[in-house]
Amino acid sequence: MTQAFKTPFLIFLLTLSLMTGACSTNPATGEQQFTALMPAGQEAAVGAQEHGKVEQTFGKFIQGPLAQYVGAVGHKVAQNTERKDVQYKFFVIDSPVINAFALPGGYVYTTRGLLALANNEAELAAVLGHEIGHVTARHSAERVSQGFLAQLGAVVLAAATDSAQVANAAGLGSELYIKSYSRGQEHQADELGVRYINRAGYDNFAMASFLNSMAASSNLEAKVAGSSAPRADWFSTHPQTENRVGEASAEAAKYASNTKMLNRDAYLNAINGMIYGDSAAQGLVRGQTFWHPEMGFTFSFPNGFIIQNQPSQVAGVHKGTGAVILFDAAGDASKADPLTYLTQTWMKGEAVQNAQTTTVNGMRAASGSFPGTVNGKAVTVQMMAIEWQPGQFFRFQVAMPNGLDSASVDALKKSTYSFRKMTASEKSSIKPDRISIVTAGAGQSVASLAAQMPFDNYKEERFRVLNGLRPNDTLVTGQKYKIIVR
Ligand SMILES: [Zn+2]
C-alpha cells in the first residue's frame, strides 16, 4: 500500500452528458460505430480527467530512463496507427501487478510487473500496440461511456468478500465491479496490435509469445498461491481465452515476413536493476509478515493467509476458514481519540458492538465489532483503529466466520496486536527484490541460475516463466537472462 492517511478507494464513476448518437466509420476497424462516439476532443478531456486518478489508484508513475524507453517504443508503434487525431502518452506504473490499460484520448499505461515479464522490445511493443488498438478502435471510449469502473484492488476485494457492509466499511461502493472488454474487442485489439508492430518492423509473433508468457505466469501464480487465488492482472481486464495465443500467431502469419526486430538486449538492458515485486514505498511481504520500511511499521498475518499488497490496502484471505483481514490507513482531521474516531467517524452510522479502548505495542487504539457476511457466510467483523500519530490511524478489519475454532480466533487477534514500529536496523535491512540481467556462461543451467533467486519454492518454474522458457528449453551460452536478486 502506498496511500497512507487518505481515504482509500477512489471510485470513478463517469457520467457523460455530451454523448452524441451519430454513426461513423472507424478508420482502424472499418466498422460503423454507433455507441459512444465522443468527439476526439472530448475523448481527450475524459482521458485527462481519469488520468489524474490513475496514480492514486494503481501506483505512482516511474520517471527516468526506463519510462523514456517505454515512451519511445510506444511512439514508434503509435506512428503506425490510423487515428492521427490522438496524442499518445505512455506511462509506467510502479506496481508489481502485471497489467496494461488505456484511457480514451491516448493515455496508455503499463506496469513494471508487466515489464518484468516481457523478454524483448517487440513484446513490449505488442502490449502497447494492443492497448493502442483499444484506443484506435474506440473500445476504451465505449467502455467509459458504459460507466468504466476498473480498479484492481476492488477486483481482489470483490473476490474475497461479497459483504456490502464490509465493502462499505472499506470505503468501497457495494456495486463496485469491473467491466471487461468483450471477447470480440480483445480479438480486435490483438489484431490491430499485430498490424502496428508489423508496420514498425517488430517480429509479428511477439504478441503470441507475450500472451504465452502471460498464460504461463498466470498458471504459475495459481500454482504458488493455490488454485482459487484472486486474480488481478492483465487477464482480468483483458479476458483470456484459450485461443488467444493461437489466434495471435495466426494473425502474425498473415503478414509477409519483415525485419523481425526483437531488440532483446536493448530491452533487457533497460529493465536491468528494476524493482521486482513490491517496493519499499509500497511495503513488502516477506513470508507472513508485512513490512513498510518507508512508513516504518510492520505486522504479521497468521499462517495460511494469502496476502495481497494493494495500492490502498493490504488484504489477507485464509482459504481454509474463509477469514479475511483488511489493513489500511486513514487520516482524521478532527484528531479525535481512537474510540471517538472508531465510533463517530470510521463507523459513523453503524451499530458498533463492544467498542472499547486498548493499546497495541504502546500505541493508543480502539476496537469494536459488527455482524456481517463474507462469501455468504455469517461473520463477525472485528475493527481496530491504531493511532500512529494524532489524526493518523492504521486500521484492521478482520472478518471472522461465526463458529471459528478458538485457535484461529486467537491467531487473528494476535495478528492485529502484532502491529508495531520497525527498528532502525529493520528499516535498513528490509529491501525490495530487483531484476538482474546475467549472461549465461558455459556450464550454467536453468537450475544453477534459478538457484540464485531468493524464493522459497518453484525457483526453476519462476525462472522459466520470467525468461519465456518452455519446460524443456535449455540455456544458450552467451545469451542474457533475467534473474531476481535481493
Ligand atoms: Zn485488451
Domains of the chain: 24-276 (no CATH), 284-429 (3.40.1000.10), 446-485 (no CATH)
Mean pLDDT of 362-366: 98
Ligand 1 centroid to 104 CA: how many Å? 13
pLDDT band at 14 (very low <50, low <70, confident <90, very high): very low
Of 31, 117, 78, 111, which Cα lies nearest the Cα of 195?
A: 78
Per-residue confidence (pLDDT) for residue 360, from 0 to 100: 98
Ligand 1 centroid to 469 CA: how many Å? 24
Bridge partners of 360?
Answer: 363
Ligand 1 centroid to 240 CA: how many Å? 9
What is the C-alpha separation between 319 and 378, in angstroms, rounded? Answer: 15
**pLDDT above 70 (res 322):** yes
Q: CA angle, 264 as apex, 258 and 267 as ends, to 5°?
A: 120
Per-residue confidence (pLDDT) for residue 24, from 0 to 100: 60
Ligand 1 centroid to 305 CA: how many Å? 31
| Percent of residues, the chain, with pLDDT higher than 90 | 54
Ligand 1 centroid to 419 CA: how many Å? 40
Q: Are 57 and 154 in contact (CB under 8 A)?
A: no
Ligand 1 centroid to 170 CA: how many Å? 29
Per-residue confidence (pLDDT) for residue 169, from 0 to 100: 35
95 vs 61, higher pLDDT:
61
pTM reported for the whole predicted model: 0.77
Of 37-41, 62-66, 215-219, the poorest mean pLDDT is in 37-41
The cell for 246 is: 493461437
Per-residue confidence (pLDDT) for residue 33, from 0 to 100: 58
Per-residue confidence (pLDDT) for residue 310, from 0 to 100: 75
Ligand 1 centroid to 238 CA: how many Å? 5
Per-residue confidence (pLDDT) for residue 152, from 0 to 100: 31
**pLDDT above 80 (res 447):** yes
Ligand 1 centroid to 257 CA: how many Å? 25
Bridge partners of 325?
Answer: 316, 398
Ligand 1 centroid to 295 CA: how many Å? 35
| Percent of residues, the chain, with pLDDT higher than 70 | 81
Ligand 1 centroid to 97 CA: how many Å? 16
**pLDDT above 90 (res 453):** yes
Ligand 1 centroid to 436 CA: how many Å? 29
Q: CA angle, 294 as apex, 291 and 299 as ends, to 5°?
A: 25
CB atoms within 10 A of CB 222: 13
Per-residue confidence (pLDDT) for residue 25, from 0 to 100: 67
Ligand 1 centroid to 188 CA: how many Å? 9
User: What tens digit of pLDDT does each residue of 218-233 get?
Assistant: 888 878 766 544 444 5
**pLDDT above 70 (res 7):** no
Ligand 1 centroid to 100 CA: how many Å? 8
Ligand 1 centroid to 180 CA: how many Å? 9
pLDDT band at 48 (very low <50, low <70, confident <90, very high): confident
Per-residue confidence (pLDDT) for residue 91, from 0 to 100: 97
Ligand 1 centroid to 421 CA: how many Å? 42
Ligand 1 centroid to 181 CA: how many Å? 7
Per-residue confidence (pLDDT) for residue 191, from 0 to 100: 94
Mean pLDDT of 440-462: 95
CA distances from 463 to 117, 124, 215, 279, 437 (A): 11, 19, 15, 20, 12
User: What tens digit of pLDDT does each residue of 331-342 get?
Assistant: 999 999 999 999
pLDDT band at 100 (very low <50, low <70, confident <90, very high): confident
Ligand 1 centroid to 296 CA: how many Å? 38
Ligand 1 centroid to 183 CA: how many Å? 9
Ligand 1 centroid to 142 CA: how many Å? 13
**pLDDT above 60 (res 180):** no
Ligand 1 centroid to 190 CA: how many Å? 7
